[in-house]
Structure 1
């Protein structure tokens, strides 16, 4: 099959940079705050009031267009989007983004599952479509916009979990070529864990029903224990599966990028692959947990800092939700900033 390359990547972080002190003024005595899963990052970025998923995607795309030209980016054949919090129920931002940007792709796909691993899953899906159709280029878009909306609600912002998420968006441009080849991908579903992540409203009601109370993600000690056990296993598991597929050892990785849930996961994943901090960048203390945007934002910031030279072996790996999905991909990097 024809080689598909990840030829460029770009990202956007909202201007509103929020320190942890914003939350401490509202915090109540909560034993969950002592759990390392909810140890707060120093900062995170929140969407502005009225800022939509399409706004964020457009701003993330701007550097991509500047570097590659409007015709190449806006003329893609495939557009795949993942929006953490759709601005309208059911509908993702794909068609709206195409309308805003004057795009007319043959494929528009709003990917609603795969959460924190969505960027890798979109890469795999785009690669498959490019290799099996006449399409030549694809744009993948991951938008995380729930931090400044769900987690700043007056009741939710008091909880330990509210301090962890941040908002941001990341985009990737793929093309049939061998300039920055995707070397291998692995995507694994674990349906037995589906439904372990739940939302909750107090007093109880369905999230779409009228009533009082504010939607939040439901956590308890048992759920946290399960998520830690699964995450610690799944991210290295799919990462090693890709390495086995392409026939390299972890010591040959130049840059390893994962989703960014908390410091404990980041430490454990680094240790599992026996990597140095220099090979395993993280943005947790500046951006918090960016969910599906974590990989592209972290990789873009590392790349723009000149730390991912062309020819580098880049490995991405992530797990989603309470462990119902995990994915990894290896790329021979070819998008270093031009001097």
Structure 2
């Protein structure tokens, strides 16, 4: 078994959802699509839309406050903030720095991960776990937030029906018990322009068939490699927190792994593809209900534009 020498734990999670709910019927009234088509091809029934006056950093800070409260910590306890987003408030200054100021996390180092799109959050968790190996960090806040409604063309049915706005957060700390932490991981990439924002101010473009082919091939394989590195048979993994891109991708990945679908919580049906935040919405669902118990193993796995993908295998101490 590989893994990190200092065991880490997700001590608290949080999610923030904009109040504006957009059902399929609203999109079908202006686009060449239907509720039946959207549900059959994506599993999505509703998604959230951020109000024009609100921001990615605002969503992220709201989710962060929940996660800190769940962990029994305050903003002043945070040593580092990592924000994962492909929809920053603006190119400069740093969105992580804006979140830091909103929270009052005076001591925190700020880092932004932006170029792996929907896989940003997995990369951010990986970095957080490694920061906790150093004496300088005992608490790392990971925030994943995306506002895809700002970068999708209102007239493009391919992208407009898929995406929703949301933020998730997780607080990582050093674990008191040595029997847990990040046990193994896998990352990979293949250069592709099938999902891209080709220029500043341009809309997101997506080749849905290419996404399907790559995701259903790479996600299960990445999970198997990470589980193998962790020394955990895939059938013994308790929870699968997968990128919430498309319900059909989630079910295809679970079927390919030969694992019951019930082990993978689903939020894409009511939230849409929330980008970097997707895996965090699934994490939050099970952490807040107490479903993740000491000794459980779980994977966090996502794929994003590029294509870039990654999987982390944890044991909850």
Q: Same fold (TM over 0.5)?
A: yes
Q: State how far apart, in whole Å, the 1-side matches of 2:60 and 2:270 are.
A: 20
Q: CA RMSD in A?
A: 2.5
Q: State how far apart, in whole Å, the 1-side matches of 2:6 and 2:73 are.
A: 25
Matching residue within 154, 165, 168 for 1:167? 165
Quote how far apart the aligned CAs of 1:319 are: 1.1
Matched, 1:13 2:11: no
Q: State how far apart, in whole Å, the 2-side matches of 1:145 and 1:169 are.
A: 9
Quote how far apart the aligned CAs of 1:40 are: 6.0
SS for the counterpart of 1:131 is coil
Matching residue within 306, 312, 315 for 1:329? 312
SS for the counterpart of 2:21 is strand
Unaligned runs of 5+ in 2: none
Matching residue within 122, 125, 131 for 1:123? 125
Q: Are the counterparts in 1 of residues 83 and 113 from structure 2 also a CA contact under 8 Å?
A: yes
Q: State how far apart, in whole Å, the 1-side matches of 2:127 and 2:79 are.
A: 13
Change (3 A) 1:18 1:140: same
Q: State how far apart, in whole Å, the 2-side matches of 1:40 and 1:251 are.
A: 25
Matching residue within 214, 217, 228 for 1:230? 214
Q: State how far apart, in whole Å, the 2-side matches of 1:282 and 1:38 are.
A: 15
Q: State how far apart, in whole Å, the 1-side matches of 2:110 and 2:87 are.
A: 18
**Deviates further, 242-251 or 98-107:** 98-107
Q: Deviations for 1:64-110, whole angstroms, at most 9, x for unmatched residues?
A: 23333443x44211111012311212444111111121112352111
Q: Are the counterparts in 1 of residues 247 and 266 from structure 2 also a CA contact under 8 Å?
A: no
Change (3 A) 1:36 1:78: same
Q: Deviations for 1:228-258, whole angstroms, at most 9, x for unmatched residues?
A: 2221121112211111112111111111110
Quote how far apart the aligned CAs of 1:178 are: 3.9
Q: Are the counterparts in 2 of residues 170 and 293 from structure 1 also a CA contact under 8 Å?
A: yes
Quote how far apart the aligned CAs of 1:328 are: 0.8
Q: After the TM superposition, which residues 138-153 of structure 1 pair with which residues of structure 2 at under 5 Å, given as runs?
A: 138-147=140-149, 149-151=150-152
Q: Are the counterparts in 2 of residues 37 and 262 from structure 1 also a CA contact under 8 Å?
A: no
Q: State how far apart, in whole Å, the 2-side matches of 1:53 and 1:186 are.
A: 28
Q: State how far apart, in whole Å, the 2-side matches of 1:133 and 1:305 are.
A: 32
State the TM-score, normalized to the length of structure 2: 0.88
Bigger radius of gyration = 1
Q: State how far apart, in whole Å, the 1-side matches of 2:43 and 2:28 are.
A: 10
Matched, 1:52 2:55: yes
Q: After the TM superposition, which residues 35-50 of structure 1 pair with which residues of structure 2 at under 5 Å, given as runs?
A: 39=42, 41-50=44-53
Change (3 A) 1:159 1:270: same
State the TM-score, normalized to the length of structure 1: 0.83
Q: State how far apart, in whole Å, the 1-side matches of 2:277 and 2:26 are.
A: 23
Please name the residue that 1:212 is paired with: none
Change (3 A) 1:2 1:228: same
Q: Are the counterparts in 1 of residues 65 and 103 from structure 2 also a CA contact under 8 Å?
A: no
Matched, 1:217 2:204: yes
